[in-house]
Structure 1
Amino acid sequence: MKPTLLLLHGALGSAAQLEPLAQRLAADFEVHSFSFTGHGGRELHPEQFNMTHFAAEVSYFLAEHQLDNVHVFGYSMGGYAAILSAVSDPGRIRSITTLGTKFDWSPEVAAQEVQMLDAEKMQAKVPQFVAQLQRTHGEGNWQAVITSTAAMMQELGTAPALHELNLSALAIPVQVLVGDGDKTAGVEPSRQFAMYLPTASFDVLPNTPHPFERANLDDLAQRIRAFTQATATV
């Protein structure tokens, strides 16, 4: 029987974002994925658009599909939700690999990130990205996703859900990956937060910025395979 792997997308994305990675891993894993509330055309409820709810959605998904001993890959926000789910509801997740997950939230950091989430400026400066958001979330919904994502970041800045105390209590293996050119997650902040995790490994991917679409997916898939195989006997 193949091991089970759950793929979790990043902020402003959807499950479709991870389909190219899923295709590379389908021969080795029973691959699952879903879009978080408000993403990929799912109905958006502002009160549910936060990291606590997204982490709970991971737990709900695993329980609903009766999945246990699950390996998880989370890109960016998806990695944060995966770890928070494992912290909040331990038992079903076997291991976690994150890529480009931003851990170091503060009011100042959140303010910097939110500056880039101005719908009007985005339409003027990055119209192709806006068109992508419209395709992903719906032409009438993408601006609400932007606004809700900004609010979520501000909440994380004020009260980060992950911190040294709860990370240090997480016993499952975690592989923290970050690109050498990732200015969102940052190499040194990622390294520091990996040190809080008792059974974490950390690696920097060469020639890799933050956007998932620019990652070397063949290399990433191989790293996920190798990590899950190594944790099978831990």
Structure 2
Amino acid sequence: MFGGDPTRVAEANSVAVIGLGRFGQSLALELMAKGTEVLGIDGDEEIVQSLNGQLTHVVMGDSTKEQTLRQLGLPEFDRVVVAIGSDIQASILTTSLLLRFDIEHVWAKAVSDAHGTILEQLGVKHVIYPEKDMGKRVAHLVRGAMQDYIEIGENFALVKTRPGQAVIGKPLGEAQIRSRYGVTITAYRPAGQDWNYTTADTVIQADDTILVAGPTQKAEAFSQLT
């Protein structure tokens, strides 16, 4: 249930997404929007039909079968995302097959810590926890004055927030933000304008938006300063 030859996609700037639930669909459609060719695979005929014409190729198939994956050219891909969440056994079997194909980059969605541990033990280098990660991110946003929050690694974050009085109206070199608060203001955006990198001479105004980088607790605390 697809147009053209899906094996051709592997020759292009392409990604295969296996499992087209809410996460898989969102990922696949975003990749398409960014100009990446996508082969989508799912066992649900209704889902496949709904995405026909929206992805480069979309196929109904059982990803736990080696023959199916070979027929679809999966061994030729170097980037595959296993987005199966509702069936942990299918996720593990599919991932195991992909690793046997020696695919260079395999991302696999985990729905629990135990699931993630099994995927890591199989040899998956990129285990992702969409629900868990989003929950942590929203918790930080709810607690603080941040407009957006991205955690980078175990204890480092990038925070989008409004500036407090500690930085308003004086060059950043004089404000000594890093030595006083343990964070760095990396960029700023004046109201109605584009983002700019900061320098020691940058003067932040009250209606600017700033990006703050630093240890998670310090970046969160800095965003709460008034």
| TM-score, reference length from structure 2 | 0.36
Structure with a larger share of its residues in helix:
1
Structure whose alpha-carbon radius of gyration is higher:
2
| TM-score, reference length from structure 1 | 0.35
